[in-house]
């Protein structure tokens, strides 16, 4: 599998060259184009219970699409829902925790599942469950805006707005909290944040769909104003 990301960072498109009979798993709606002979199989990844958990709790599609190249190989192009960047992570028997909506695609060998975060959960509007990507292979993620990477040393703490979080290394400590008191949470324009503790890597998106919707919705015409 050969991967190239073009038109970044505003309108990124990922071009995936597949080897003969090689397959890639793609989130529903992320496929832009494909070459002749590439076949599609839609399935409930992990069975019906895992798919229900991923869809209802993780905010992801109930179904995932497996695209497989023919004997001569093939090509598929992918893009996220919102305008922004994309990135490729090569996992080697490791795990990443991924924010709902950021998952685009993965190679064979990567398992996508929901991750229960217990009492220390993420109270973001995207949902209470983060996705967990584990195994050995290629993971393709998308963002709203550009992607900013931050590496944390052992014991180092960094605070990220939950609406800007794309992914972070499995095993990092985290604690969700309000920015300030009740007044600050309600009127500052900032909601909940997460304190992440290293070691590990954090990936953030420079734009938040929650913030965009908060700006956009009050400007939309209402039925009364027609």
Query: Quick check: 73 and 22 in contact, CB under 8 A?
Result: yes
**pTM tops 0.85, yes or no:** no
Reported as half-sphere exposure (CB side, CA atoms, 13 A), residue 167 has a value of 25
Quick check: 109 and 149 in contact, CB under 8 A?
Answer: no
Give the pLDDT confidence of 166-215 residue by residue, as tens digits.
999 988 988 888 775 444 444 444 567 889 999 999 999 999 887 877 77
98-134 confidence digits (pLDDT tens): 987 899 999 999 998 865 454 345 544 444 467 889 9
Count, in order, helices (H) and strands (E) of the chain: 3, 17
Residue 92, Cβ neighbours under 10 Å: how many? Answer: 7
- The tokens for 5 are 């990301």
How confident is the model at residue 182, as a pLDDT?
A: 44
**Which class for 10: exposed (0-12), middle (13-18), buried (19 or more C-beta within 10 A)?**
exposed
How confident is the model over 19-64, as pLDDT tens digits?
A: 999 999 999 889 999 999 999 998 765 544 454 454 444 444 546 7
List of domains in the chain: 2-212 (3.60.160.10)
Are 124 and 163 in contact by the 8 Å Cβ rule? The answer is yes
Between these two residues, 10 and 52, which has the higher pLDDT value?
10
Rg (CA), the chain: 18
């Amino acid at each position: 599998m050969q991967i190239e990301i073009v038109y970044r960072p505003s309108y990124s498109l990922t071009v995936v060259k597949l080897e003969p009979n090689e397959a890639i798993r793609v989130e529903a709606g992320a496929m832009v184009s494909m070459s002749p002979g590439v076949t599609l199989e839609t399935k409930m990844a992990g069975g019906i219970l895992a798919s229900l958990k991923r869809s209802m709790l993780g905010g992801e599609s109930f179904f995932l699409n497996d695209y497989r190249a023919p004997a001569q190989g093939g090509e598929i192009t992918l893009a996220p829902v919102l305008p922004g960047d994309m990135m490729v992570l090569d996992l080697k028997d490791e795990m990443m925790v991924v924010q709902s909506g950021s998952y685009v695609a993965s190679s064979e060998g990567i398992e996508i599942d929901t991750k229960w975060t217990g009492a220390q959960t993420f109270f973001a509007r995207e949902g209470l469950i983060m996705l967990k990507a584990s195994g050995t292979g290629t993971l393709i993620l998308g963002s709203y805006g550009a992607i900013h990477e931050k590496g944390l040393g052992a014991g180092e703490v960094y605070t990220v707005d939950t609406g800007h979080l794309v992914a972070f290394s499995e095993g990092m400590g985290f604690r969700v909290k309000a920015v300030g008191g009740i007044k600050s949470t309600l009127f500052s324009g900032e909601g909940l944040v997460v304190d992440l503790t290293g070691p590990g890597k954090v990936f953030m998106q420079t734009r938040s769909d929650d913030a965009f919707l908060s700006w956009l919705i009050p400007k939309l015409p209402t039925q009364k104003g027609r």
